[in-house]
């Protein structure tokens, strides 16, 4: 991310690289984690470590698409909002839609990824020129980003159905009940991933 942002300048010095890195990658992870931490603190009544870590990841995902078209301040705010969004997304996907996503991967990479794509159309820049809706660029870039987000969502969905459909027919997608109860760590790898007594039904 930092290299892409720095690459917009003709001369990249080690000092400029470090400054850009901490303004974008470091700042985005920090604000994404902070956004998730504050959100869970308000929502659950106490801060949630797992959600905060997901917020840090979501912050980084939120700037990945736009790392070459975002100011340092814009990147930090994109990460902050990404960290907040991911908390709500995890709650909706896991608890409302009842989809098993134990580590929040769909929210972190999917939902925050869409946000990161759209935010370019909100306050992205091209050099010193604003291309977003909120910084003088109009709505055209936001429309283009929305089409792009929809296109890769459709591509991923169709491809996933094809690949997993073939795998299901060829070798199956589920292990046996006995293997599932024992745990894939033991059955497939011969080691225990989590210490302590297991009580599974």
Count of the separate structural domains present in the chain? 1
Q: Tell me what percent of the chain is helix, strand and coil, each rounded to the nearest 5.
A: 70, 0, 30
Look at residue 125 and tell me if it is in a domain.
yes
Expressed as residue numbers, the domain containing 121 is 2-151
Encode pLDDT of 20-54 as tens digits. Answer: 665 567 778 899 999 999 999 999 999 999 999 99
Look at residue 28 and tell me if it is in a domain.
yes
Look at residue 44 and tell me if it is in a domain.
yes
Encode pLDDT of 157-173 as tens digits. Answer: 999 999 999 999 999 98
Structure-model confidence comparison of residues 62 and 174, the more confident one: 62
Question: What is the reported pLDDT for 27?
Answer: 79
Letter string b/e over residues 119-155, b meaning 16 or more CB atoms within 10 A of that residue's CB: bbbbbbbeeeebbbbeeebeeebbeebeebbeeeeee
Look at residue 138 and tell me if it is in a domain.
yes
Look at residue 183 and tell me if it is in a domain.
no
Domain of 88: which CATH number? 1.10.3430.10
**Residues near 47 by Cβ (< 8 Å), separated by ≥ 6?**
37, 38, 40, 41
Task: Check whether 142 has a pLDDT greater than 50.
Answer: yes
Predicted TM-score of the model (pTM): 0.80
Look at residue 124 and tell me if it is in a domain.
yes
Task: Check whether 178 has a pLDDT greater than 60.
Answer: yes
Look at residue 108 and tell me if it is in a domain.
yes
Look at residue 201 and tell me if it is in a domain.
no
Task: Check whether 3 has a pLDDT greater than 60.
Answer: no
Question: What is the reported pLDDT for 4?
Answer: 36
């Amino acid at each position: 991310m930092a290299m892409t942002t720095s690459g917009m300048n003709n001369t990249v010095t080690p000092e400029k690289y470090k400054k850009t890195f901490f303004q974008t990658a470091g700042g985005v992870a920090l604000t994404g984690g902070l956004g998730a931490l504050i959100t869970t603190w308000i929502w659950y009544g106490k801060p949630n470590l797992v959600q905060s870590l997901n917020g840090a990841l979501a912050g980084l995902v939120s700037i990945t698409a736009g790392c070459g078209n975002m100011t340092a301040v814009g990147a930090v705010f994109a990460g902050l909002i990404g960290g907040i969004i991911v908390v709500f997304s995890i709650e909706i996907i896991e608890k409302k839609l009842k989809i098993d996503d134990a580590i929040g991967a769909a929210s972190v990479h999917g939902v925050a990824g869409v946000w990161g794509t759209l935010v370019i159309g909100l306050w992205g820049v091209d050099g010193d020129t604003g291309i977003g809706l909120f910084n003088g660029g109009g709505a055209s870039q936001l429309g283009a980003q929305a089409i792009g987000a929809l296109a890769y969502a459709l591509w991923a969905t169709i491809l996933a159905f094809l690949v997993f459909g073939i795998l299901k027919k060829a070798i199956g997608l589920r292990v046996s009940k006995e293997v599932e109860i024992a745990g894939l760590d033991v059955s497939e790898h011969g080691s225990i991933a989590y210490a302590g007594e297991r009580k599974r039904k």
